[in-house]
Structure 1
Amino acid sequence: MNDIFSIERLWWLLRADLTSGYRSVLTVSATLAGVILIASLLSIDRAGAAQGFFVSWYGAMLYIWGVIASSRAFAELHDKTRNEAYLLIPASTIEKTLARLLAVTVGLTVYLLIFTTAVSLLIEGLYRLFAGASVGIFNPLVPEILPLITGYLFVQSFFFLGAAWFRRRHFIKTTLVITLTGIVLVLFTLLALRVVFAPEGIADLGDLMARAVGSYQGLFRSFETVRTIFAILLPVACWSIAWLRVRETQVSDGV
């Protein structure tokens, strides 16, 4: 059997994680279902208005639940009472990393699609029973869903890396790093624009941005391609670094 990667071992890891965490998932799901039901009574006031409501809720649940789950993907790795048992699991670091990654990406994305559909059917049934009206159900195949998922995969990758990298307060520390990095990038961009357009006497920030877009439209269009490639490569890089961090921890602990 391959010592680096095995579908069978990966399946057992996924099954073990599901067995140990399904109660929490059910508890959160039941709570969310109740909140969505109450919100629907306050928000859906006409037939056919439910689709936008459910798309918004799907996006909110995916980002909030997904980011929190991603930031806790390797909780055992940094817990002194549980890390030894986790590191001694008979599976490679690739399999351990991939199991947690699949759970918070593919697993959560698909589960929330099914969950939102089921909740929408429940709400539709209640509206028909008590109000005699149809408000519509959630359609997981609408075009608005794909940008939500791709955006989540991009954002999630940072918190997944933070889960493996930081020993404590993974969510807070990852958020802090993202915020500081964003501030630095914005300041650098503004400084670059100021240097380029200062000789022309442009001081207003809005004028600077408008002038930059107007002067370099071709360059900005080429940046769209670069941005797309960057949006794909950066999550892959974060996931890969997370795997290297797990491997480093396993080696440093002599496992």
Structure 2
Amino acid sequence: MQPNNVFNVRRMQLYLQKHFTDHYRFYGMGMLVIFGLMTGIAVLMILVAREPFRRMSELVPFYYIGLFLGGLLFTSRAFNELGSKEKGVDFLMLPASQFEKFITLFLISSIGYLLFYHISSYLSFKIIEGAQLTALNQKIERNYDLLDNPKEKVYVYYGYVILQAAFLLGATYFHKYSFIKTVLSVFIFGFALWLINCIIVTLLFGFGQEFWKRSVPFLLVAKQEVGPSSWHSTVYLIPEWLQNTYLFTIKFVIAPVLWIIAYFRLKDQEI
């Protein structure tokens, strides 16, 4: 390895070339499958059911399913070589730094996937619209902006980035069946947070009205007051400064922390 054993542009370029040479079949088939499913299912619905998609918002579920399912499956295979002793030795002994290997796979599974996916989504939409025009002579109204109107939709992407970081971390821990094991780990982690919230809410408000059933974890609790002929709810919300802290953490902290942990986990990897 060259004297700079952390990062070298030329060395990373050579590693990137080797990685694509070794995995181009997998990437190519994966891209075709995602594109084919996105396009084929919608076109079949048009041709078989003869029901047109009237608005772009009706196609958005296909977009989000492909984004999350395809992206997380793709990310979970980032360090698949470590599942085999022979491939793992080749991966770890290759004359490139662990940072170069990590950043290469990070860029491919994050920016690379998002770039391809959005190009595919655009082409898929054009094909679906063309098929609908040909078969039913009806256009699709463009009534949906992915990143705006309302602006809260951008939080879908924050959620995706956090999950992508979690699955990248999972790929460094689980070298076989990484996707399934990471899904299970995320579920267990989420259940643990919910259980902790239930305990805290019960300790604060008591057991009487089962407040844990009417709470959003670590955000709000609703108290129902029932009268002779009516009832109303009182909502207890966390302070605004804590809401802003949560928001900042979701936007800028969780994903980078998971990426850093994933890098150090890969750096300590042994076969």
After TM superposition, the score normalised by the length of structure 2 is: 0.78
Question: How many residue pairs align between the two structures?
Answer: 247
Point out where structure 2 has 5 or more consecutive residues left out of the alignment. Answer: 216-220, 225-232
Find 2:87's aligned residue among 82, 89, 96: 82
Find 1:230's aligned residue among 240, 249, 261: 249
Tell me the amino acid that sits aligned with residue 3 of structure 1: N
Matches for 1:210-225 after TM superposition, within 5 Å: 210-211=222-223, 216-217=236-237, 219-225=238-244
Structure 2 contact 34–66 (Cα < 8 Å) conserved: no
More relative contact order, 1 or 2 (CA 8 Å, 6+ apart) = 1
Q: Which has the higher strand share?
A: 2
Are 1:181 and 2:189 an aligned pair? yes
The change in CA–CA distance for 1:234 and 1:40 in structure 2 (over 3 A counts) is: farther
Stretch of structure 1 that moved more, 26-35 or 69-78? 26-35
What is aligned with 2:268?
Answer: 248
Structure 1 contact 55–138 (Cα < 8 Å) conserved: no
What's the CA shift for 1:216?
4.5
What's the CA shift for 1:207?
5.8
CA distance in 2, matches of 1:113, 1:43: 27
Aligned-residue sequence identity (percent) comes to 23
CA distance in 2, matches of 1:142, 1:192: 36
The change in CA–CA distance for 1:202 and 1:133 in structure 2 (over 3 A counts) is: closer
What's the CA shift for 1:214?
5.1
What's the CA shift for 1:178?
1.7
The change in CA–CA distance for 1:207 and 1:153 in structure 2 (over 3 A counts) is: closer
Stretch of structure 1 that moved more, 138-147 or 32-41? 138-147
SS of corresponding position for 2:101: helix
What's the CA shift for 1:172?
2.2
Structure 1 contact 161–241 (Cα < 8 Å) conserved: yes
CA distance in 1, matches of 2:50, 2:169: 37
What's the CA shift for 1:117?
0.5
Q: What RMSD over aligned residues (CA atoms) do the two structures have, in Å?
A: 2.9
Structure 1 contact 120–137 (Cα < 8 Å) conserved: no
Tell me the amino acid that sits aligned with residue 95 of structure 1: E
What is aligned with 2:41?
Answer: 35
What's the CA shift for 1:65?
0.9
CA distance in 1, matches of 2:259, 2:50: 38
What's the CA shift for 1:25?
2.7
Structure 1 contact 44–53 (Cα < 8 Å) conserved: no
Stretch of structure 1 that moved more, 26-35 or 120-129? 26-35
CA distance in 2, matches of 1:40, 1:221: 48
Q: Which has the higher helix share?
A: 1
Tell me the amino acid that sits aligned with residue 235 of structure 1: A
After TM superposition, the score normalised by the length of structure 1 is: 0.82
What's the CA shift for 1:99?
1.2
The change in CA–CA distance for 1:207 and 1:168 in structure 2 (over 3 A counts) is: closer
